[in-house]
Amino acid sequence: MTTEHFVTLDAIRAAAERVRSIAKVTPLVDVSAAAGRPLLLKVETLQPGGAFKIRGAYNMVAQLTEAQRHRGVITYSSGNHGQAVALAAREFGAPAVVVMPTTAPQIKVDGARSFGAEVVFAGTTSADRRKRAEEEAAARGLTMVPPFDHEWIITGQGTAGLEILEQQPNVAAVLVPIGGGGLAAGVAAAIKQSRPQVKVLGVEPSGAAAMRASLDAGHAVTLPATHSVADGLMPVRPGDLTFAHVRRFADDVVTVEDSEIVDAVRHLVRPNRQIVVLRPAG
C-alpha cells in the first residue's frame, strides 16, 4: 500500500466484523458536567489489554497466514500495542515477541508477559525499538506487526470511529489522541468517509508533537526527542501511512501541555471515578 491510497470504509467495516469476537463495543460516558460543555468519553480502557490497540493488532494477526502465525510475530511498543499483539497472538496460538523501551512501565511489561509474550528491551525511542525488532524479525523469521503504520492496523483502529457514529448519531466533533497516528488515521478515515460534516481533531502532547510538525512541514518528519507524561504518545515520528491519512481526513491537529493532561486526569478521577494512570517516560 502506498501513501497515495487510503483505507476504505468497506475495509474498516470488514475489520469490525473480524475483531467482533474479541474487541468490546465500549461505552460512551457522559462527563459533560465536569467539562462544562457537552462531552462524551469512549472508554477504551475497558478493552482486553486495557487499550484500543487490540482492534488493530487482532485485525492484523487474524489476516496472517497459518505459516506466518506458526513462525511467530514481533512488534515494537511502549506497552499497549505490545500487550495487544501478545493477546492477539495467544488467541491464534502464535508465539509473540515484544520489543519495549527500557523505560516501559512495569505494569505494561507484566501485561505483555502475562499474555505469553517474550519481552526484549531496546533503548528509549521508537527508532531504537523498531531497529531491534527488525533485527529480531530477520534473525528468527518472525512477522512484524507494526504499532501504527500498516493498513490493517489503521482499519482495525478505525472500528472505534464506526462505533462512535452508531452510538452518537448527532456527534459534532471527535477528538483523538495521537502517538504514531494509527488511531487518528483510522477514526478520521471511518468518520469522514461516513459523515464528512463531523469534525475530527487530533490531539498531541506539546512535547511530542511529531504529527503537528509533520503537517507543518508537508511531510513526515522525525523529532530529535520527545517528552511527556503521556508515555504512550511519544513516537519521534509518525508513520508515512498515518501521516497521509491524518493529512487527508483530519480537520486539524492541536497540542496540549502536560499540565493540561494532568488536570484532565484529575477531573476524570475525582467526580467521574474514571481511573486513568499516567507515568513519566523517564
In the numeric block, which cell numbers belong to residue 83? 500487550
Phi and psi torsions of 32, nearest 5°? -60, -35
- Prediction pTM value: 0.91
Q: Which residues contact 72 (CB under 8 A, 6 or more apart)?
A: 89, 94, 95, 96, 97, 140, 141, 142, 143
All structural domains of the chain, each given as residue ranges with its CATH number in brackets, are 9-47+150-272 (3.40.50.1100), 54-144 (3.40.50.1100)
Q: What is the mean pLDDT of residues 18-29?
A: 96
CA distance 77 to 85: 10
Q: Per-residue pLDDT averaged across 235-243, rounded?
A: 93
What is the tens place of the pLDDT at every residue in 66-78? 999 999 999 998 8
Gap between the Cα atoms of 35 and 51, Å rounded = 23
Task: Dig out the grid coordinates for 187 from the structure.
Answer: 477514526
CA distances from 230 to 6, 225, 244, 265 (A): 28, 14, 24, 11
Q: Is 82 helix (H, G, I), strand (E, B) or coil?
A: helix
For the chain, the farthest-separated pair of C-alpha atoms sits apart, in whole angstroms, at 54
Sign of CA dihedral 42, 45, 47, 53: positive
pLDDT reported for residue 105: 85
Q: What pLDDT, on a 0 to 100 scale, did the predictor assign at position 14?
A: 98
Q: Mean pLDDT lowest for which of 111-115, 146-150, 240-244, 269-273?
A: 269-273
Asked if residue 118 has pLDDT above 50, the reply is yes
